[in-house]
Amino acid sequence: MSDRAYTPPLGTGDTADYDRAIRRWTREIRWRRAMIELLAPRPGETIIDVGCGTGSFAVMVKTGAPGARVIGIDPDEEALVIARAKGDAAGADIHWERGFARDIGSRSADAMVSSLMFHQVPMAEKRAGLAAMHAALRPGGRLVIADYGRQRGLMRLLFRLIIQRLDGVADTQPNADGVLPELLHAAGFVKIREAARIHTVTGTIALIAADRPG
Ligand SMILES: C[S@@+](CC[C@H](N)C(=O)[O-])C[C@H]1O[C@@H](n2cnc3c(N)ncnc32)[C@H](O)[C@@H]1O
């Protein structure tokens, strides 16, 4: 965590460089498409992207499922400015909100998504964010996360060299040690499954799905 009360999109890097960095270093198309497949958005659903950053995934959801109501939430105003512009350019009617995961409040959403956010937040925030996301889902609602998960072998080294330099060690190490599934379980999620593990030059990105009990 930086002295800003949260870590911005590219950690110690510049938010203006975020989209280019993600495209170049994370096999972005591969994991975002896998995330969409796992989410399978349907018309009429309310889908909330928590820690939406510069809005790439929220725009992808809305353009692929125009009948869904899509909300993007992030604490970083600079990222939200980019997200709004991206949504407008795509003609995607998305509701952007400034806020933290823990402050989502009562919503009754059909699905929650979050990409590359949890590895950047402290343990207490990971727990509080997941609890709030669980509470804001309707019973039977689903959660899809794409984030750096357990890192093994070479992936652990690459993760240390790049992601931990940008985002620090304290918040990222629990993810690298594989903490996400147990945090989901503790927050009350069920049917927790790792649907894919995508190896990148910055470490392994895990696709994790879970449900709120019906
Ligand atoms: C690496 S970026 C990922 C952005 C986007 N989800 C994506 O896939 O490109 C992480 C984002 O999480 C946001 N963030 C940091 N702490 C947060 C928190 N406690 N709750 C919600 N979002 C947070 C940051 O502002 C940043 O935009």
Residue 57 Cα: closest atom of ligand 1: 8
Q: Is 61 in the pocket of ligand 1 (CB under 6 A)?
A: no
How many structural domains comprise the chain? 1
Domain carrying residue 132: 17-211
Q: Hey, which bits of 53-135 come out as E strands? A: 69-74, 95-98, 109-115
pLDDT single digits (tens) 136-189: 999 999 999 999 999 999 999 999 999 999 999 999 999 999 999 999 999 999
Residue 51 Cα: closest atom of ligand 1: 22
Confidence bin at 53 (pLDDT 50/70/90): very high
Judged against a pLDDT cut of 70, whether residue 1 lies above it is answered with no
Report if residue 11 sits inside a domain.
Answer: no
Q: Is 52 in the pocket of ligand 1 (CB under 6 A)?
A: yes
CB 95 within 8 A of CB 126: no
Q: How many alpha carbons fall within 13 Å on the CB side of residue 31?
A: 29
Report if residue 131 sits inside a domain.
Answer: yes
Start-to-end Cα distance in the chain: 35
Q: Is 117 in the pocket of ligand 1 (CB under 6 A)?
A: yes
Residue 7 Cα: closest atom of ligand 1: 15
Residues 127-132: what's their mean pLDDT?
98
Question: How distant, in Å, are the alpha carbons of 4, 34, 95, 197 from that of 84?
Answer: 22, 24, 9, 30
Cα(18) to centroid(ligand 1), Å: 11
Encoded tokens for 175: 């993810």
Judged against a pLDDT cut of 80, whether residue 35 lies above it is answered with yes
Pairing of strands 190-200, 203-211: antiparallel
Report if residue 132 sits inside a domain.
Answer: yes
Angle between helical axes of 56-64 and 77-89 (0-180°, round to 10) = 30
Report if residue 1 sits inside a domain.
Answer: no
Report if residue 10 sits inside a domain.
Answer: no
Tell me what pLDDT residue 3 has: 44
Q: Is 9 in the pocket of ligand 1 (CB under 6 A)?
A: yes
Report if residue 12 sits inside a domain.
Answer: no
Q: Is 100 in the pocket of ligand 1 (CB under 6 A)?
A: yes
Report if residue 4 sits inside a domain.
Answer: no
Cα distance between residue 129 and residue 100, in whole Å: 8
Report if residue 69 sits inside a domain.
Answer: yes
Give the count of beta carbons closer than 10 Å to the beta carbon of residue 67.
Answer: 10
> SS3 for 81?
helix
What CATH number does the domain containing 118 carry?
Answer: 3.40.50.150
Q: Is 53 in the pocket of ligand 1 (CB under 6 A)?
A: yes
Sign of the torsion angle spanned by Cα atoms 141, 209, 74, 16:
negative
